[in-house]
Chain A
Amino acid sequence: MSEFRMPSLGADMESGTLVEWNIRPGERVERGQIVCVVETQKGAIDVEIWETGTVERLVAEEGDKVPVGEVMAVILAEGEKAEGEAAGQEAPVEPSPAEAPQAPSPRAPDVSPPVPPHAAATGGRRRISPAARKRAGELGLDPANVSGSGPGGAITLADIEQAPEAPAGPRPARRAAGHDAHAAMRQAIAAAMARSKREIPHYYLGHTLSAEPTLEWLAAYNAERSVAERLIFPVLQLRAVAMALQEVPALNGWFVDGAFRPAEGVHLGVAIALRGGGLVAPALHDADRLDPDAMMAALRDLLTRARKDRLRSSELTAAGLTVTNLGDLGVDSVQGVIYPPQVALVGFGRIAERPWVRDGRVVAARCLQVSLAADHRVTDGAIGARFLTRLTDLLTEPDRLWPP
């Protein structure tokens, strides 16, 4: 028997609201299946289960606000019988207290999200002073998004008062609509970005490259395909980042509890601006293993679901590095803010024609600026430079992106 618990879907998540169950007692569940929808500040998230078995019972009810790590459902492994049946008893409903603090159910290794520092799945309370709690209530602010500066890391009144403005009124119990959802997301972004700038000593490196060879490669690739099958340039950017990360793994992971924890696998956070405002950066899983078409499909799927509020739990915490591309919006370069607890962010600007020296002559070339923001606690400029150089090489020699 195992317990399905509220997952941690972000560094500062304290609890989530169960919007709906997709499963019923007695039903079979498969590993990777989406079993429920949880409302978080990042929107409604489809939550997956990492176990195959049968639903014995649902503990959480729709509408419940469930702390991270709290049991939501009890799952019987294949072939396992319910406790009561095994013992020949009628009413085995409540688990004994000794059973309650079992370890969370194991997750699939390839998508195992890091447990971010503040959201260890213990269900333990965060320290917050009574005055801070009261003030947070008055402001309608969720203290889960505030980091503490008081004794023992407690959240103090000043932490709350310096936190970003919160929407007035009680928090919605169900899927938040319109303004509230945006305000909540704004809060989440504000908290994460403020934490990043407060805690992470960023260093920034930049490089300008001629995108001509890669654009030519892309044009040739797409020439033989229907519109629906064509690749877009960001796929090549993501691929290049994924390959460069394989060689410089020190930028792929998380800074947790004062130490770097490398990511297993290359899952790239893709920054996606949402219509109507806000931003999410779900993970594109295994970006180093996908062929061009699979990567295009994965990216398209991710974009579509992000905009429909249908992201999955495994996509929210798996990314070891985030890529942001503001080229579409016409900017030349990006000096990014790292998404904690990640340790680096890669930014792409627009592709624009510029004077470029080739073979001793100035020519017009379509150029691209790529930047790296990295956490100086984890890496130094030399490693950042090695990564950026490798990335530049890959983006200028496209034949190396998917070597035969």
Chain B
Amino acid sequence: MTPQTIAYREALRQGLREALIRDDRVFLMGEDVGRYGGTYAVSHGLLEEFGESRIRDTPLSESTFTGAGIGAALNGMRPIVEIMTVNFSLLALDQIINNAATLRHMSGGQLSVPLVIRMTTGGGRQLAAQHSHSLEGWYAHIPGLRIVAPATHEDARGMLLAALEDPDPVLIFEHALLLGAEGTVEGEPHPMELDHAAIRREGGQVSLITYGGMLHKSLAAAEQLAAEGIDTEVLDLRTLRPLDDAAIMASVAKTHRLVVVDEGWRSGSLSAEIITRINEQAFFELDAPPVRVCSQEVPVPYAKHLEDAAIPQVEDIVAAVHRLMGGSGSGGAS
């Protein structure tokens, strides 16, 4: 079958539709997912196709509808809860962390919460500080949750299907900047496994370890670096919890240098966790200090030039690699 070129949001929609077709227990619930077709038009047309019982508009109360999703999951359904942005998910933290993530443990394995929560993350669209943050690293801190970040169209379509097969809660982070981006998918929608990172570009001299919206900037940076003769590998983490340590260490063992590119803030972050694991597990493979390219530690600004300056850009990644490859800097912060 020939590959089709579609927008990322269309890939998400195909995944949702396939999930709804495959399994009667699956339903989608969230703010404006039905009549409005989704804030980001991801669920456009699904209400008409699947009806009100399976595409459910909810009140503006993240705690309530996330809690309802947990209850439905506990009772045998396979709910997909859509939260508009990760910033708003903070209103549902109690349900996500105190209930969804803990019930299997607290019930001694008697209960499981096969819930999928989707939300957008990230900046770059001038939506200011209350809609633009990248808090997936926070969620990756919590035992009991699986955190995934589809960066490719195939993953956008297929990770949802795999997430629904997981007996425990899975949070899917969809980067807002990717929604309109075009890419290819092949064949019918099919589950994309959730356990492994993927090398998106092979290279031998430096590893860019990244995920989600930063994958594409990393690939663009790798392209520029290749033109300069720096052979750059790009590792897409795909799943942020649990991290695929083996893939990370294998890449570092190959290139001996790495840059973690993470749109989250640096302090107490996912990027910190990744580098710590590398230090713990692959210290003697390192040929240069690990480097991070993260967002500036400010609330993401509204003004375009300030937002651009706050969020990692391709040139920041290129500059970090230059430093790492033997420039004069100490290979520290950026």
Complex CA gap A236/B329 in Å reads 51
Complex CA gap A199/B258 in Å reads 29
Min CB–CB distance A155 → chain B (angstroms): 9
Among residues 201 to 215 in chain B, which have CB atoms less than 8 Å away from a CB atom of chain A? none
With an 8 A cutoff between CB atoms, is B286 at the interface?
A: yes
Complex CA gap A149/B288 in Å reads 11
Complex CA gap A132/B286 in Å reads 8
With an 8 A cutoff between CB atoms, is B76 at the interface?
A: no
| Contact yes or no, B331 A130, CB < 8 A | no
Choose, from B50-58, B61-69, B87-95, B320-328, the stretch at the interface: B320-328
Q: Which of A133, A151, A157 contacts B327 (CB 8 A)?
A: A151
| Contact yes or no, B284 A134, CB < 8 A | yes
With an 8 A cutoff between CB atoms, is B256 at the interface?
A: yes
Interface size on B, residues (CB 8 A): 16
Among residues 288 to 319 in chain A, which have CB atoms less than 8 Å away from a CB atom of chain B? none
B284: A residues at CB distance < 8 A? 130-131, 133-134
Complex CA gap A133/B286 in Å reads 10
Q: Which of A131, A152, A156, A158 contacts B285 (CB 8 A)?
A: A131
Q: Which of A131, A149, A158 contacts B286 (CB 8 A)?
A: A131
| Contact yes or no, B287 A157, CB < 8 A | yes
Complex CA gap A131/B330 in Å reads 17
| Contact yes or no, B287 A129, CB < 8 A | yes
Q: Which of B285, B324, B327, B329 contacts A130 (CB 8 A)?
A: B285
With an 8 A cutoff between CB atoms, is A154 at the interface?
A: yes
| Contact yes or no, A156 B287, CB < 8 A | yes
A142-160: CB near B (< 8 Å → 1, else 0) gives: 0000000111101011100
| Contact yes or no, A156 B286, CB < 8 A | no
B323: A residues at CB distance < 8 A? 151
With an 8 A cutoff between CB atoms, is B71 at the interface?
A: no
| Contact yes or no, A150 B328, CB < 8 A | no
A157: B residues at CB distance < 8 A? 256, 287
Min CB–CB distance A136 → chain B (angstroms): 11
| Contact yes or no, A129 B288, CB < 8 A | yes
B183: A residues at CB distance < 8 A? none
| Contact yes or no, A151 B256, CB < 8 A | no
Among residues 141 to 200 in chain A, which have CB atoms less than 8 Å away from a CB atom of chain B? 149-152, 154, 156-158
Min CB–CB distance B191 → chain A (angstroms): 38
A150: B residues at CB distance < 8 A? 287-288, 326
| Contact yes or no, B283 A130, CB < 8 A | yes
Q: Which of A134, A149, A151 contacts B289 (CB 8 A)?
A: A151
Min CB–CB distance A259 → chain B (angstroms): 19
Known: A131-B256, A157-B256. A151 touches B328 (CB 8 A): yes
A119-133: CB near B (< 8 Å → 1, else 0) gives: 000000000011111
Q: Which of A129, A132, A152, A156 contacts B328 (CB 8 A)?
A: A152
A130: B residues at CB distance < 8 A? 283-287
Residue of B nearest to A154 (CB): B288
Among residues 264 to 310 in chain B, which have CB atoms less than 8 Å away from a CB atom of chain A? 283-289
Min CB–CB distance A146 → chain B (angstroms): 13
B324: A residues at CB distance < 8 A? 151
Complex CA gap A106/B324 in Å reads 40
Residue of B nearest to A132 (CB): B287
Complex CA gap A151/B320 in Å reads 12
Q: Which of A129, A134, A151 contacts B329 (CB 8 A)?
A: A151
Which of A131, A133, A154, A158 has most B Cβ within 10 Å?
A131
Min CB–CB distance A135 → chain B (angstroms): 9
Known: A131-B256, A157-B256. A151 touches B286 (CB 8 A): no
Residue of B nearest to A157 (CB): B287
A134: B residues at CB distance < 8 A? 284-285
Complex CA gap A150/B330 in Å reads 10
Min CB–CB distance B205 → chain A (angstroms): 10
Residue of A nearest to B205 (CB): A158
B326: A residues at CB distance < 8 A? 149-151, 156
Min CB–CB distance B75 → chain A (angstroms): 52
B289: A residues at CB distance < 8 A? 151
Which of B284, B328, B330 has most A Cβ within 10 Å?
B284
Min CB–CB distance A163 → chain B (angstroms): 14
Complex CA gap A156/B330 in Å reads 14
A129: B residues at CB distance < 8 A? 256, 286-288
Min CB–CB distance B248 → chain A (angstroms): 16
Min CB–CB distance B223 → chain A (angstroms): 23
| Contact yes or no, A152 B287, CB < 8 A | no
Complex CA gap A274/B305 in Å reads 68
A149: B residues at CB distance < 8 A? 326
B286: A residues at CB distance < 8 A? 129-131
Min CB–CB distance A131 → chain B (angstroms): 4
Complex CA gap A96/B114 in Å reads 64
Residue of B nearest to A152 (CB): B330
Known: A131-B256, A156-B326. A151 touches B331 (CB 8 A): yes
Min CB–CB distance B30 → chain A (angstroms): 47
Among residues 98 to 138 in chain A, which have CB atoms less than 8 Å away from a CB atom of chain B? 129-134
Residue of B nearest to A148 (CB): B326
Min CB–CB distance B107 → chain A (angstroms): 45
| Contact yes or no, B328 A131, CB < 8 A | no
Complex CA gap A149/B326 in Å reads 6
B327: A residues at CB distance < 8 A? 151
Complex CA gap A149/B324 in Å reads 11
Complex CA gap A38/B330 in Å reads 35
A151: B residues at CB distance < 8 A? 288-289, 323-324, 326-331
Min CB–CB distance A302 → chain B (angstroms): 41
B330: A residues at CB distance < 8 A? 151-152
Knowing that A154-B288, A157-B256 touch, tell me 6 more A-B residue pairs with CB under 8 angstroms. A129-B286, A130-B285, A130-B287, A131-B284, A134-B285, A158-B287
Question: Considering the complex of A and B, which 6 residue pairs feature the smallest CB-CB distances, nearest first?
Answer: A134-B284, A131-B287, A129-B287, A157-B287, A151-B331, A130-B286
Interchain residue pairs with CB less than 8 A apart (30):
A129-B256, A129-B286, A129-B287, A129-B288, A130-B283, A130-B284, A130-B286, A131-B256, A131-B285, A131-B286, A131-B287, A132-B287, A134-B284, A134-B285, A149-B326, A150-B288, A150-B326, A151-B288, A151-B324, A151-B326, A151-B327, A151-B328, A151-B330, A151-B331, A152-B328, A152-B329, A152-B331, A156-B288, A157-B287, A158-B287
Write the residues of chain A forming the contact surface with B, with a CB cutoff of 8 angstroms. Answer: 129-134, 149-152, 154, 156-158
